């Protein structure tokens, strides 16, 4: 499950990054303080944590030490204004898996989180997503099938037959038999958002689909397509 807890006390930045991560296919629980984090964090649900260090009620490094001392199998990425080498070394020594400055490109942030999620894996379940063309349905790992419309089936087919690769918006539009130059791009955005929402509502999993800014999409999980 790509569920992530995000700790950031700056309201605008927290909202912007949360929206970006949601577009990348994450379920984001965003909090603004150490107290809120401790109340929200569920080791059974959260596999990733994105943490600021300078917080209104303490230092994020204390939280990292606390999480590591409890033995949680958790991927921790620090995102902070403290970008100096000494700060980075200290953060990694406390137990962070990655240490990024707040000036980081958002695509690099997404790639870092995706790589960490792959390394951690998902306990107890196969990570394979299955697309059944004849039955026109998507089977998330460990869950019941989701029925699909014909358009959703076509979109998922072109994405899932190239897992881990970028698929351009033009390729997706043309796979649906549309003229890319005449196509209203908002239709594709709406379709992808609907697919993500439907997957979350039915099984609680985030659709493993990254949005590549100004490029297209990438289905990053293991896939199987059945005729």
- Each residue's pLDDT tens digit, 91-131: 788 888 999 988 888 988 988 998 888 887 644 344 689 99
> Over pLDDT 90: what percentage of the chain?
43
What is the residue-averaged pLDDT of the chain? Answer: 87
CA-CA-CA-CA torsion sign (68, 74, 77, 80): negative
Confidence of residue 48 (pLDDT cuts 50, 70, 90): very high
Highest mean pLDDT among 4-13, 185-194, 218-227: 4-13
Higher local confidence (pLDDT), 179 or 204 = 179
Q: Is the pLDDT of residue 22 over 50?
A: yes
Look at residues 95, 96, 125, 119 and name the one whose alpha carbon lies nearest to residue 204: 125
Tokens of 113: 């989180």
Q: What is the CATH number of domain 129-226?
A: 1.10.10.10
Confidence of residue 164 (pLDDT cuts 50, 70, 90): confident
Which sequence spans correspond to the domains of the chain? 3-120, 129-226
Task: Give the global pTM.
Answer: 0.57
Average pLDDT (77-88) is 82
Between the alpha carbon of residue 75 and those of residues 64, 112, 164, 172, the distances in Å are 11, 11, 21, 32
Q: What are phi and psi of 98, to 5 degrees?
A: -140, 150
Q: Which residue has the tokens 């594709």?
A: 188
Strand partners, 224: 130
Q: Which long-range contacts (CB under 8 A, 24 or more apart) does 102-108 make?
A: 102/13, 104/79, 106/17, 106/20, 106/213, 107/212, 107/213
Number of residues written out for the chain: 227
Q: What is the CATH number of domain 3-120?
A: 3.40.50.2300
């Amino acid at each position: 499950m790509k569920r992530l807890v995000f700790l950031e006390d700056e309201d605008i930045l927290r909202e912007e990054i949360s929206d970006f991560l949601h577009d990348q296919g994450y379920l984001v629980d965003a909090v603004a303080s150490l107290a809120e984090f401790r109340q929200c964090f569920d080791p059974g649900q959260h596999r990733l944590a994105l943490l600021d260090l300078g917080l209104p009620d303490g230092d994020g490094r204390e939280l990292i030490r606390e999480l590591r001392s409890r033995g949680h199998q958790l991927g921790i990425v620090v995102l902070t204004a403290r970008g100096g080498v000494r700060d980075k070394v200290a953060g990694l020594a406390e137990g962070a898996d990655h240490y990024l400055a707040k000036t980081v490109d958002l695509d690099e942030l997404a790639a870092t989180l995706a790589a960490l999620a792959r390394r951690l894996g998902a306990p107890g379940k196969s990570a394979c997503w299955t697309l059944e063309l004849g039955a026109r349905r998507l089977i998330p790992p460990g869950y019941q099938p989701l029925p699909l419309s014909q358009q959703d089936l076509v979109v998922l087919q072109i994405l899932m037959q190239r897992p881990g690769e970028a698929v351009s918006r033009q390729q997706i539009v043309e796979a649906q038999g549309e003229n890319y130059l005449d196509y209203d791009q908002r239709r594709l955005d709406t379709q992808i958002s609907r697919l993500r929402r439907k997957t979350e509502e039915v099984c609680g999993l985030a659709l493993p689909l990254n949005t590549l800014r100004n490029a297209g999409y990438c289905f990053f999980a293991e896939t199987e397509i059945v005729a």
